[in-house]
Amino acid sequence: MALFEYFPNYIWNLSVAMALESGGKIGEIIDMCAPIREAAERGDAGTGEFMQQWVAKADTLLDLAAEDEARGRGFSASAKLERASLYLLVAERMQQQGSAGREETYRKAREAFDRSTKLGSLPRERVEIPLATGTMPALFTPGAGQGPRPVVVYCNGLDSTKELLFWSRLPEALARRGISTLCVDQPGTGEALRLQGLPVDPHSENWASCAVDWLEGREEVGPAHIGMAGISLGGHFAPRAVAYEPRFASGAVWGANHNWREVQDKRRRREGENPVPHYWAHVFWTFGASDMEDFLEKSAAMNLNGHMDRIRVPFLVTHGESDRQISLDYAHQAYDQLVNSPRRELKIFTPREGGVEHVGADNLAFGRDYIADWFADTLGGRTQC
């Protein structure tokens, strides 16, 4: 496997990989991880120590950023704030809901991210998209060029946030190709869950259509050229939204979560790896479920069988050959059921290139570029100067 295996368990290594691929520095990561190698052997029970070390490093970076800012060095301060926010978000997602310090850690992460945006003049605008209940916080990154341009709605998986979506650098890759990006904290993720208590909605067209409504009101958006992408559990949300929202002109998944309800049965049998510690508590929280029976009932619709044939626009399915969370079989199922797409494509990432782990945790570059090129081809962007 290509994943950097510092700890004796997959979930902790996944967090390290996420930090490295999102802009973390190896020296800082070693500083945070070296004192807690033994804690990792306790699995979920050691996650409090994980947060303690990662928050401490983030606090140091916040102090250093404040010193830069006091000297009028905003760009340098922004770089440190980015990493502080990243480390705080990684630490926060490792904790069980309701654990001590989790809410404060998330608050600090958001404040650092927003401050970094301002000091670094970074290409992201925080927006709020009205929903039937509450709002969907999002980050809008404009594509290069003038006039109305294509745009991609980019949604979270089970445990990601709009900030992590931005750090995947897909918005940057799309912007270079003349395509804007809207990274969303849809219900069940990020701010929508943590600050508004909005649970997962398996019928993703409900909130994705609201994103399209909002985008159609932006003068820099070409309304006939709106795409939809999802990462990890977004491999359910994106196809479902494209199937039921006819205004989407193209779609793609970074990881084919074709039958996530079935995955839960496998996880109950301890087949495959979990994405986060305290897994069952986490999914109960995100779905607003009281117990296992309630969760299984609320997640019953997390299955794309019988829906993919409604997709009548170009659609791309990507998957890592060695994904330890979601079986490669689901990528083939998704592709095979795209019977009415005028242009369907299946891309499996292999050891020859990298990106073989779950949604490219070992190397985001290949998935990012492939998906960006797909949208350039199908939405009217560019793939070269």
Instruction: Read off the tokens for 259.
Output: 């039958």
H helices of the chain, in order, are 10-21, 26-33, 37-40, 47-70, 74-93, 102-120, 162-167, 170-176, 190-194, 205-216, 234-244, 260-268, 279-287, 292-298, 329-336, 364-379
CB 95 within 8 A of CB 47: yes
Instruction: Please write the tens of the pLDDT for every residue from 179-236.
Output: 999 999 999 999 999 999 999 999 999 999 999 999 999 999 999 999 999 999 999 9
pLDDT of residue 385: 86
- Mean predicted confidence (pLDDT) in 139-163: 97
Across the strands, what pairs with 316? 252, 345
Sign for the CA dihedral angle at 150, 156, 161, 165 comes to negative
In a 3-state reduction of DSSP, which class is residue 28? helix
Percent of the chain whose predicted confidence (pLDDT) is above 90: 99
Whether the predicted pLDDT of 339 surpasses 90: yes
DSSP one-letter string for 199-249: PP-S-THHHHHHHHHHHHT-TTEEEEEEEEEEETTHHHHHHHHHHH-TT--
pLDDT of residue 313: 98
Mean pLDDT over each residue of the chain, to the nearest integer: 97
pTM for the whole thing? Answer: 0.97
Instruction: Please write the tens of the pLDDT for every residue from 41-75.
Output: 999 999 999 999 999 999 999 999 999 999 999 99
| Rg over CA atoms, the chain | 20
pLDDT of residue 276: 96
Burial of 17 (0-12, 13-18, 19+ CB in 10 A): buried
Give the pLDDT band (50/70/90) at residue 109: very high
CB 380 within 8 A of CB 145: no
Give the pLDDT band (50/70/90) at residue 366: very high
Give the pLDDT band (50/70/90) at residue 345: very high
- Mean predicted confidence (pLDDT) in 139-157: 97
